[in-house]
Amino acid sequence: METFLEHQVALVTGGATGIGAATAIALARAGADVVVGYHRSEDEAARVVKAVADLGRRGAMVQGDLSDPAQAERWVREACAAVPGPVQVLVNNAGDLIERHPLSDMSVEHWDATIALNLSSVFYVTRWALSHLADGGRIVNVTSIAAHTGGSVGAAAYASAKGGVVTLTRSMALELAPRQITVNAISPGVIMTRFHERHSTPERLTSFLSQIPLGRLGTAEDCAAAVVFLASPAAAFITGEVLEINGGQHFG
């Protein structure tokens, strides 16, 4: 097992389930000590931390609603204290569609909550993490195929937020380049996690599957492998990029 992240500290927001959980474990497998961020999924976060510890790495879990700037600041402070040392990897994964609402009946509250969770949280966490982030570190943001396609009906707020993550990723890449910090994003397509269990009907998933040239739905591990690559020495000269993980459903 290659451990090129040995003795490095990684922070993973939304790390209790799905893509975040798979990423936390994959980073630990590559040698990193990992702080798992979670909001409500305490039991799941504990299982991820145990998996990290079983790999011989330091692990910790820190709760916080990262759509709230004060909680995001507190989360970063507690996360960095939980596993001391300069942060080399930050994965901004926290996010959710929340609910589907067509524009005709979408409330301002839903719009604001979706933008706060999926876009503003990336700014909040990165803003407060910068003083802890080592020069030469890696930031990986998680956007979505919806940023390119506009999403399906009822996902306008989510798609808009994820489009903002793409632009924010590139802005961060330019600004942090003098510190040799790379900033990239992964853009998952249809990944079989709780997200689609909650927000997509079986009929919708069947329709998605028919659009994927590789003939299967994605897994959280597909996404985690891409994050680990972007955190690895092999990606040292890649920044400002969005890595599409969708089986050929959409070319960026």
Burial of 26 (0-12, 13-18, 19+ CB in 10 A): buried
Q: What is the 3-state secondary structure (H, E, C) of the chain?
A: CCCCCCCCEEEECCCCCHHHHHHHHHHHHCCCEEEEEECCCHHHHHHHHHHHHHCCCCEEEEECCCCCHHHHHHHHHHHHHHCCCCEEEEEECCCCCCCCCCHHHCCHHHHHHHHHHHHHHHHHHHHHHCCCEEEEEEEEEECCCHHHHCCCCCCHHHHHHHHHHHHHHHHHHHHHHHHCCEEEEEEECCECCHHHHHHCCHHHHHHHHHCCCCCCCECHHHHHHHHHHHHCHHHCCCCCCEEEECCCCCCC
User: 124 an active-site residue?
Assistant: no
The CA distance from 41 to 47, in Å, is: 10
Crossing angle of helices 156-176 and 121-129, in 10° steps, is 20
38, 128, 158, 195: the active-site residue: 158
The set of catalytic residues is 158
